[in-house]
Structure formats: structure tokens, C-alpha cells
Chains A and B, each alone.
Chain A
Amino acid sequence: MRLRFIALLVGAFVFLFPFYYMLVGSLQAEPDPSVTGAFPSPDNVTGQNYVEINKAIALGRSLINSGIFTGGVILGTLVFGVLAGYALARLHFRGRGLVFNLMLLVQVVPFQLLTIPLYVLIVRSYGLADSYLGMILPFAINSTVVFIFRQYFLQLPAELFDAARIDGAGELSILWRIAVPLVKPALLTGVLVTFIGPWNEFLWPFLITKQQDLQPLAVSLSNYLTTVAARAANPFGAVLAGACVLAAPAVTLFLIFQRRFIATNLESGVKG
């Protein structure tokens, strides 16, 4: 029993230490890679790295871009995902089985394989390079979340819907007035699951944004990492400061809602 606990403790250290070190490193005036450098010392603490990275990549602008990209994906997933999830759970129409199978199938299609054709189509054919729309489009509806919505709608009692239909309510008003208010927890789960995708996404926005003032933080930070950092006074400090800013929203959301994150993951694991 004690051995197990120690193994788990060592594991937790390995998982958390880089995050601690990220924070410590972002506050160092002089990068100190020695063992004592892992402990913050009062005469080597500074906020200068945050000023430095803000000057180089405009943190505020990048955060707004990340926010618009993520917000667009969440909005698309909530609106169209709720519609699709409700239809798949509650309505009988031709082709329902086919759509359901497609939804499961696309979850195993790795996005990177679609990179080249999507790049050709979105950037070259539709001229959507350097635009929020082009960034959002490939992620606009999260299929995992459509699946989660469907599962929640399935659990509602059928009598509820039959009664509303006998009263002559249209499907859209049944969905909006009766079904959606009953699955509010599903909406929160949907937002959380959707959030980490676009917030952390690198490859796609990297490919389609050349204009710096449109780049999400993950892209501008990586550009700093690969090109500018070599010339900075304390490159690691500035990179780690940017990393802290990029990591903070996702980690904070996760810590606040960890129960919901983990429960969703457990459920999808059982069903998968």
C-alpha cells in the first residue's frame, strides 16, 4: 500500500514539476538552470519577462485572437451541435442511422491528414487565409460534443415530448423550451470539451495566418520560439512567461471544473 502511494507521488511530481518550473523560470531575471535555480530566490525575481514577451508578440492581441477562434468554435458547436444531437436522439427521419455512423467515423479521422487538401481549399480556392472564418471552419462543429449532446437528450423521458407534440408545439420550440433547459449540464460539458481543442490548436492556425495581428497565442508564441528568441536577452524567461499566459486559462478552467472533465472522459471511455 505504501509502495503504491509512493509510486503515485513520484508520478505526480513528474507531471507537475514542469508546470512549477515554467512559473519559476518565467520570473527569473537571469536564467538559472542549476539545481538551486529550481527554487525561487528573492534577488533573482522579476516581471520583466512578461513585459518582454508582450513587446515581442502583443499578448493582448494574441489572447483576443485565441478567444475569437475558440469562441467561434464553441458557438458553432453549441448551435449546430445541439440541433444535430437532438435530432439524432429524439427525431425519426430518413438517414438518421447514416448520420450517426458518420459522426462516430469522423472521430477517428486524424485531422492532420486533411491538412493539405483543406489548405488548398480554404486558402487557395476560397481565399480565407488570414481570417477568423478560415481558422474556425474546419473545427466549427465538434463531433465528440454532438455525441455527448445526443447521450443527454436520449436520457429525457419520451412522454415529455409526446405531450408537447399533442399540444401542437413545433420541433424547434420543443427543443428550445423543453429539451435545452433540461440538459444545461450538457451545455457546460460541451463548452469545456470544445474549449481545449481550438485554444491549444497549433498546426491549422499556424498554416493559415501569416499576419501577426491575427495569430492566436499558440501560433505567435511558437513563432517567437523559433525565430525571435535567439536574439532576446533572456529568451527562456520570455518564452516561459508566454507559456504561462497560454497555459493559464485552460489549466484554470480544468481545475475549476475538474470533476466534470474527468466524468465526461470516464463516460466516453466506457462507451468507446
Chain B
Amino acid sequence: MSRLAVSGSGRRPGVVGRILGEHPAGTAFVTPYVVFLAAVFAYPLGFAVYMSFHDYFFTAPGAIVERPFVGFDNYVTVLSDPAVRRAFGNVLVFLVINVPLTVVLSIGLATALNSAIRWRTFFRVSYYVPYVTASVAVVGVWLFLFNANGLVNSVLGPLAPDPSWLVNSTLAMPTVAIYVTWKQLGFFILLYLAALQNVSKDLYEAASMDGAGRWKSFLNVTVPGVRPATTLVVLLATVTGANLFTEPYLLTGGGGPDGASASPVLVMYQKGIEQGNPDIGSAIGVLLVVGVLMLALAERRFVGRED
């Protein structure tokens, strides 16, 4: 019966076929993947929400202890913690710098790359290299470049900031934001390059017939033409930015100076794992997801609107 159903494309489905569909083998083929998604995404997500509403703490494996429901206690603790509030404020500063800078630079460079120009492959490759390189590796060289006696400061001479970039409480977060923009830009340039292929050439011709210069046709044809890509870039950059961890951990020595560049994920790690309060950590995580979702919806409204 089941054999018939497996090989039976176009034949009358058997009992198994009626329950599972024309090709029951398909169910078997996706099972490992579905189990993976359930174990690594769905269950942990639910578990995080559960922990955030309970008094959850680490125990020896197998120990049975009571983990009472505490309502919003963990959230109250989190929101009244100045370190957490500061981290959420920091990530807003990060996004305000990173997202617009990413959009402007990647749309500009993609437009320039899209014209018939020498060395296109060379440019595309060089913009993409930071994206494929481990952040841990590139952080090493940025530390060398931006340290108090580093190359950047020796080029700037008397204009160098004091205290230097990464140990300056005003400049630390913007420096991290610029680092991340630089690191991710290649990926976004390619997204825009793809989108530019879909902008009709006729529109540019029409614009130049109307006497529009290069700048005018960029503003009136290119920018509206790649709007769906812009929505995508803004959303992706926001999600990536909200998950900032490696850079403040390594570039500014754990969110320094004095928490000025701490990100929510960094604080989540410190409270949840280093200090052993997974319930508090989970509450930070849930708040971060809710915050990112609200921000993403607002951005979609704002960027994705039709003129």
C-alpha cells in the first residue's frame, strides 16, 4: 500500500497517500529539518518567554527545584536597572548612525558600480571582503588603527580626539557604529546592485529627455526605483544592529568606557550567563525582540510608503 503511494504519481492515492499527500517520502525527507527548527528555534523561543516570567536559576543537571511564577518581576528588575536602560539607549545611538549611513553609502556606491566603469570586479570584490572576514580578525586591526597612538591619530595629529576614539565615552559608540557599517556595507551594496538591475532604462532616458541632470535622475528615478531594496536594507541593518555583541565586547573591552558602548545583547550575556540570572537575561532578550519588532514596523511604514 505504502509502496504504491510512494511511486504513485498520477495513480489513485492509498490510505497513506490520503493522510500524508501524494508523496509520503516528502514527510520523511523534511523530518530532520523540522525537528531541527523545533529544537533550535521554536522551543528555545518559548522557553525564553517562560524563563522571563519565572524565578529561574541554574541548578545541577537533574535536580528538581521549584521555579515559581513571578509575573512581571523580572521585567521590573530589568527596566529599573540603569545599566540596561543605558544599553538600550546606546543601541539607539548606534542605529541612528549606522542605518542612514549604510543606506546612503551603499546606494551611492552601488549606483557608481552599476555604470559602465573600469575595474568593476575589483571594486565589487574589495567592498565584499570585510563582509566575509571574521569580526574577531578585523577588530584586531581596528584596535591597532584607532588606539591612542595608532595610525589614525598620527595622521590626524593635533586633531586627534582626547581621550582616543574607543576609550572616549562620547565617541566609543559612534566608532563602533562606523566599524559595523564598514564591515557590512559590501552585502548591502550587492542588494542594491541587484535592485538596480530591475530599474527600467526607459525611465532614465525619459528623465534625460526632460532635461534632468545626473543628480536629478538619481533622485527621481534611482531612489524611488530601489525603494523595496531600501526597505529591506533598513530592516536588515536594524536587526543586525540590535544584535550587536562581538564589537563592543572586543573593540571597547566589554562595552567601555564605563558602559558607554554596552549593547543589550552584551548586558544580556553579562546578567544572564556571567552572573547566572537566565531569567533576567531572557527578559532583556524578550524586550529586545519586542523593541526591534516595533521599530521594524515603524520603519516599514516610514520607508516603505508609496509617494
Chain A residues near B (Cβ < 8 Å): 1, 4-5, 7-8, 11-12, 14-16, 18-19, 21-22, 25, 31, 33-35, 37-38, 80-81, 83-84, 86-88, 91-96, 99, 102-103, 106, 108-121, 124-125, 127, 137-138, 140-141, 143, 146, 161-162, 165, 168-172, 175, 196, 199-200, 202-203, 207, 218, 221-222, 225-226, 236, 239-240, 242-244, 246-247, 250-251, 253-255, 258, 261-262, 265-267, 269-270, 272
Contact = CB atoms under 8 A, between A and B. Distances in A.
B96 interface: no
B198 interface: yes
Contacts of A4: 112, 115, 117
Main SS of chain B's interface residues?
helix
A92 B281 contact: no
B44 A200 contact: no
Given A137-B40, A170-B25, A266-B194, A239 B32 contact: no
Nearest to B48: A117
Main SS of chain A's interface residues?
helix
B117 A5 contact: yes
Contact of A99 (B10, B34, B48): B34
A109 B45 contact: yes
A18 B152 CA distance: 11
Given A4-B117, A106-B41, A93 B26 contact: yes
A45 B41 CA distance: 49
Interface in B150-206: 150-151, 154-155, 182, 185-187, 190-191, 193-195, 197-198
Interface residues of B, number: 105
B127 interface: yes
B259 interface: no
A8 B117 contact: yes
Given A114-B41, A221-B137, A262 B25 contact: no
B72 interface: no
A258 B281 contact: no
A96 B115 contact: no
17 contacts: A15-B126, A22-B137, A25-B144, A81-B33, A87-B29, A87-B30, A91-B25, A103-B37, A113-B243, A113-B288, A115-B269, A115-B272, A168-B7, A225-B250, A236-B144, A239-B144, A244-B137
A113 B48 contact: yes
Contact of B144 (A33, A84, A269): A33
Interface in B248-285: 249-250, 253-254, 265, 268-269, 272-273, 278, 281-282, 285
A8 B193 CA distance: 14
A46 B209 CA distance: 62
Contacts of A170: 6-7, 25
A33, A218, A246, A261, most chain B CB atoms within 10 A: A33
B278 A21 contact: no
A126 to B, nearest CB: 9
B40 A138 contact: yes
Contacts of A221: 136-137, 140
A16 B191 CA distance: 20
Given A7-B112, A12-B122, A270-B198, A94 B20 contact: yes
B145 interface: yes
Nearest to B36: A141
B213 interface: no
Contacts of B126: 11-12, 15-16
B133 A247 contact: yes
Contact of A117 (B198, B229, B282): B282
Interface string B114-137: 010111011111111110111111
Contacts of B217: none
Given A35-B151, A94-B20, A116-B48, A250 B134 contact: yes
B137 A247 contact: yes
Q: 9 tightest A-B contacts by CB?
A: A91-B26, A93-B26, A269-B194, A171-B25, A87-B29, A117-B44, A200-B134, A91-B23, A84-B33
Given A15-B182, A110-B239, A254-B132, A83 B141 contact: no
A113 B286 CA distance: 8
Interface in B203-233: 229, 232
A33 B149 contact: yes
A258 B133 CA distance: 14
A221 B190 CA distance: 30
A246 B137 contact: yes
A137 B191 CA distance: 30
Interface string B11-28: 000000001111111110
